[in-house]
């Protein structure tokens, strides 16, 4: 009896979650706008670090590199940023692409946008390590 109840509750929860994903369809243009990005990473042989970025993304996914996008590291040095983010999964709002910071290409194999399309969370790699990030539209 208890197991049957647990199965029903689990099935109902799964239906809600899966149904919610279907309502979360995204377009390439949803990535456009100004984003504040908070990242924590690890480079082999060094301590973990954090980076804060401001990105201006065009509707086609190009990260504007005309002084509108930049990052600051733990040492407060500011450097320009450019890149590209592409929608690869419309029903789950999945994006991928790359961001070049301080001359280093940071690959973003997967980032997911929330339903309200104002938060993006993902993972990335660069030649010497990896990072996680959260981006919000202010």
Superfamily of domain 26-136: Quinohemoprotein amine dehydrogenase alpha subunit, domain 2 (2.40.128.120)
Position 8 pLDDT exceeds 50? no
CA 23 to chain CA centroid, nearest Å: 19
For 29-66, the pLDDT digits (tens) are 999 999 999 999 999 999 999 999 999 999 999 998 88
| Rg (the chain; Cα; Å) | 18
Residue 135 near residue 120 (C-beta atoms within 8 A): yes
Task: Give the C-alpha distances (Å, rounded to integers) separating 14 from 2, 5, 68, 89, 115.
Answer: 18, 14, 41, 20, 17
| pLDDT in the model for residue 23 | 46
Could you tell me the two tokens for 2? 């208890």
d(CA 2, CA 91): 34
pLDDT value for 133: 98
Arithmetic mean of pLDDT over the chain: 85
DSSP assignment string, the chain: -HHHHHHHHHHHHHHHHHHHHHTT---GGGG-EEEEEEEEEEETTS--EEEEEEEEE-TTSEEP-SSS-EEEETT--EEEEEEEEEEEETTTTEEEEEEEETTEEEEEEEEEE-TTSSEEEEEEEETTEEEEEEEE--
Q: Please tell me the distance from the alpha carbon of residue 86 to that of residue 95, in angstroms, as a whole number.
A: 5
- Domain residue ranges of the chain, discontinuous segments joined by +: 26-136
């Amino acid at each position: 009896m208890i197991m049957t109840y647990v199965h029903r509750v689990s099935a109902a929860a799964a239906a809600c979650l899966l149904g919610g994903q279907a309502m979360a369809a995204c377009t390439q243009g949803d990535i456009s706008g100004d984003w504040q990005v908070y990242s924590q990473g690890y480079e082999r042989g060094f301590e973990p670090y954090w980076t804060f970025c401001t990105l201006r993304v065009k509707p086609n996914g190009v990260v504007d590199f005309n002084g509108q996008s930049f990052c600051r590291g733990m040492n407060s040095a500011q450097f320009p940023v450019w890149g590209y983010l592409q929608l690869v999964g419309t029903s789950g709002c999945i994006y991928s692409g790359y961001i070049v910071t301080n001359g280093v290409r940071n690959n973003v194999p997967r980032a997911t946008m929330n339903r309200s399309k104002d938060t993006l969370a993902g993972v990335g790699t660069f030649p010497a390590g990896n990072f996680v990030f959260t981006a919000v539209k202010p």
